Structures are given as C-alpha cells and as structure tokens.
Amino acid sequence: MQSVFEGRRCVIADDVRSSREVISRWMQEIGFSISCESDGEAAWETIQQDTCDLLITDIEMPGMSGLELIRNMRADTESCVQDVPAIVVTSLLDEQVGEVVQSFGGTTVVLKPLDKAVFYQVVDRVLGHMPVSPIYESFQSEGQSASGISRSLRCLADRARSS
C-alpha cells in the first residue's frame, strides 16, 4: 500500500539522537524521505539546499534554536521555504510555548514524550491543511504545565528575536 506521503520530504532537527531516530522511523513508516540534523544551523543549510514539505524541530538546540530556524524560514525570499509547515517538538512544559512558537511562525507544538498516534494525527492535520491546536500533548504529559513563561523559553525567544 502506498502512503499519501510517499515522495514527500521532511527535515528533522533535534539535538537528542534518540528523538531524531524515533521521529525519523515514524515518518519513514508513512512514506517520507528524511533528512536528520542535530542542530538548527545544519537544518537551515539542508532546507536551503533542497526544498522540503515539512520541518519537525526541537526548540532547545546548541547553536541555532528551533525558534531561530523557523524565523529564518519565514524571512526567506523563496516562498517554497517560507511556506513550509513547522511542527515543534519539545519537552518544555510552559503554558506559553504554543503562543511563542506561533509568534515565530511555527505551525503547532507537540509535547514530549511523543505518542505515535498523536504525532501522526498532527502530521496528517498539518499537511492536510486542517486547523490545528497550538499544542498537542501525549497521553503521558497531559495536565503537566508550568505557570507563566519559563526562564528557558524566555531566553530562547529573546535570543531568536535579537539575532
């Protein structure tokens, strides 16, 4: 059976190797060809060299953060880069993470630990141009959140805005 995503390309940016491997395996199972990078700078170079249909990125990475990566994509002169949907995966439990990600042009957030069924639902909604929630939680992370904006997220957002 051929997947509806056969022939589509996804760039995955996450500094945690196990996260990259799991997401990569899941995306290949539904037909994507994959490029995996361990930081935002390498992912940005990959996206500039060859167009993709979807970006999946962590927020906190060494060098260029996921927020900076998304900001660069939205500021690019090529619409094929500007318009790529960006799913952010993060373990930051912060009540403002969805709002901050969307302010940089991210499509939605999926909280780690990732749940395969939830993740597939999000990918299907994003690429099917259906409405998405600002944040999706796995069954293990439901109800866990911090109040206010965390220091870590504030620092990442400030750094991305000023660079």
Q: Using one digit for the tens of pLDDT, what is the confidence trace for 111-153?
A: 999 999 999 999 999 999 999 999 998 765 455 444 455 667 7
In the 8-state DSSP scheme, what is residue 118?
A: H
Q: What is the pLDDT of residues 19-57, one digit of tens each?
A: 999 999 999 999 999 999 999 999 999 999 998 999 999
Structural domains of the chain, with CATH: 9-162 (3.40.50.2300)
Alpha-helical segments (H) within 39-82: 40-49, 66-75, 79-82
Q: Which residue has the tokens 């962590």?
A: 58
pLDDT at 146: 44
Q: From the DSSP assignment, how many helices (H) and strands (E) are in the chain?
A: 7, 6
- Give the predicted TM-score (pTM) of the model: 0.87
Q: How far are the Cα atoms of 6, 9, 59, 99, 148 from residue 154, in angstroms, in the given order?
A: 38, 31, 12, 12, 10
User: Which tokens in the block code for residue 63?
Assistant: 């060098």
CA distance 32 to 25: 9
pLDDT at 140: 53
For residue 62, pLDDT over 70 is answered with: yes
